[in-house]
Amino acid sequence: MYLFTSEVVSPGHPDKCADIIADSIVDAILKQDPNGRVASEVFVAGKHVVIGGEVNAKVDFTHQDYRDIVKESIKKIGYFDNPHFTREQCLHPQDLEVDVFLNQQSPDINQGVDQASGEIGAGDQGIMFGFASCETQHLMPAAITYARMLCDKVYEYALNHPDRFGVDIKTQVTIDYGTKQNFENCAPQRIHTIVVSAPSVDNLSIDEVRSTIKELIDNAGLPANLYDPQNTIIYINPTGRYVNHSSLHDSGLTGRKLIVDSFGGYSPIGGGAQSSKDYTKVDRSGLYAARYIAKNIVAAGLAKKCIVQLSYAIGVAKPTSISVDCMGTNLKSVGDDVLSDFVYENFALTPRWITKKFGLDKPSKDTFLYADVASKGQVGVPSYPWESLDSVELFKKLG
């Protein structure tokens, strides 16, 4: 055996609640002012939500407006004063207390970001990694893909059956690659272990919980060549009772689920979170661009998997470095150095270029909302603009 594991959490997990609240604020500000600058952090503990950070935008939000955003976000997630859970068992929006500590973004940053030429300088220094793998249809690695499928299935059931389940859910999938060589060549052999934890109402027996979730696992659409229900180890609520949940029993903070949000541990990750930040913050836009480049390289057949690293200096538009690493899975004629040079020569990768390419300054229901991205994961969802494969033909010229 050669095993690799990834986990996923649902929007109802307290850390995800913090991310979704933060990105609901980003959405609300950018809808009114596409040039708005936002960097707010959210802390959720018990019945308290604390919002802190910097905003520089042409909006006139009061503290009450921010409180309304918080409560609407929490309700949309699935905490809607559910009568089937007591106010001691999970969060109820009417009990929320919201504190807002938002300041103006420093003019020292502004002078480098919004440049007279119209170019956008990076809102901070940092490194970002994008990754793609041929293991699944949408060029994401296997373990996190299947953990997301399971999490989505159980979360959807919880939303539709609030009399049975709560929305603070975790899933985990272990893939057996058989050998290290198979792992390196993106060849998963089977799903070895599945873990699902989902809160249930007090009067639902553990046997009923496990039976219901096992049925959801079997019907989640896992690939039949990898998932054998008879020979997969499955843990469902392994401690037994799981009733108490939400931020009443586990605090949440923005940016604490970077592995969940990205590639499930298959790739390095950058130093900063995406949620809570506007598009000039390259922790966000740089990840999207790096994922886009890596995905198009793999889709073009130039490698089985690919890591793209970008780095930026605050106030400087062009990346300070670009590197491509296909981990030895390249076509022999197209090395990593060739790919790195090709990306540098053909993609500007400035914050302005990335913003215009993916419409990052115009979140909407018709394109994407940052709050939805926070819910589903920052990469790997085909509808996101940065998941487009419109540069495949360009890369194929190297093949």
Instruction: Tell me what pLDDT residue 109 has.
Output: 55
CATH architecture of 126-134+280-397: 2-Layer Sandwich (3.30)
CA 198, CA 372: separation in Å to the nearest integer? 21
Q: What top-level class would CATH report for the domain 3-9+142-243?
A: alpha beta
- Residues 303-356: pLDDT tens digits? 999 999 999 999 899 999 999 999 999 987 899 999 999 999 999 999 999 999
**Stretch 226-241: mean pLDDT:** 96
* 354: three-class secondary structure by DSSP: helix
CB 257 within 8 A of CB 97: no
User: Where in the chain are the domains?
Assistant: 3-9+142-243, 14-113, 126-134+280-397
pLDDT at residue 106, as a whole number: 62
* pLDDT tens digits, 23-72: 999 999 999 999 999 999 999 999 999 999 999 999 999 999 999 999 99
When pLDDT is cut at 50, 70 and 90, the band that residue 123 belongs to is confident
CA distances in angstroms from 48 to 53, 68, 82, 97, 199, listed in the order given = 17, 14, 18, 5, 21
Question: What pairs with residue 55 in β-bridges?
Answer: 38
Is 14-113's fold the same as 126-134+280-397's? Answer: yes
Burial (CB count within 10 angstroms: exposed 0-12, middle 13-18, buried 19+), residue 268:
middle
Q: What is the pTM of this model?
A: 0.95
Residue 141's CB is within 10 A of a number of other CB atoms, namely 25
Burial of 204 per CB tally in 10 Å (0-12, 13-18, 19+): middle
What percentage of residues in the chain have a pLDDT greater than 70? 97
Tell me the per-residue pLDDT of 70-119, one tens digit each, with 9 for 90 and over: 999 999 999 998 999 999 999 999 999 999 999 876 665 555 576 656 67
pLDDT for the residue 107: 61
What is the spatial distance between Cα 340 and Cα 325, in angstroms, rounded to a whole number?
Answer: 8
Over residues 185-193, mean pLDDT: 98
Mean pLDDT for the chain overall? 95
Q: Phi, psi (5° rounding) for residue 171?
A: -130, 160
Those residues whose C-beta lies under 8 Å from the C-beta of residue 280, and which sit 6 or more positions away, are 37, 113, 120, 121, 122, 123, 351, 355
3-state secondary structure (DSSP) of residue 339: helix
Give the DSSP per-residue string, 193-233: EEEEE--B-TTS-HHHHHHHHHHHHHTS---TTT--TTTSE
Residue-level pLDDT at 122: 84
pLDDT of res. 111: 57
For the stretch 176-192, what's the b/e string if a residue is b when 16 or more beta carbons lie within 10 angstroms of its beta carbon?
A: bbeeeeebebbebbbbb
CATH of 14-113, one of 3.30.300.10, 3.30.70.940, 3.40.50.1100, 3.30.70.260: 3.30.300.10
pLDDT at 254: 97
Question: Residue 189 CA to chain centroid, in angstroms?
Answer: 26
Instruction: List, in order, residues 6 or more apart from 262 with CB less than 8 Å away.
Output: 129, 131, 269, 287, 377, 378, 379
Spatial distance between the Cα atoms of 381 and 139, rounded to a whole number of angstroms: 10
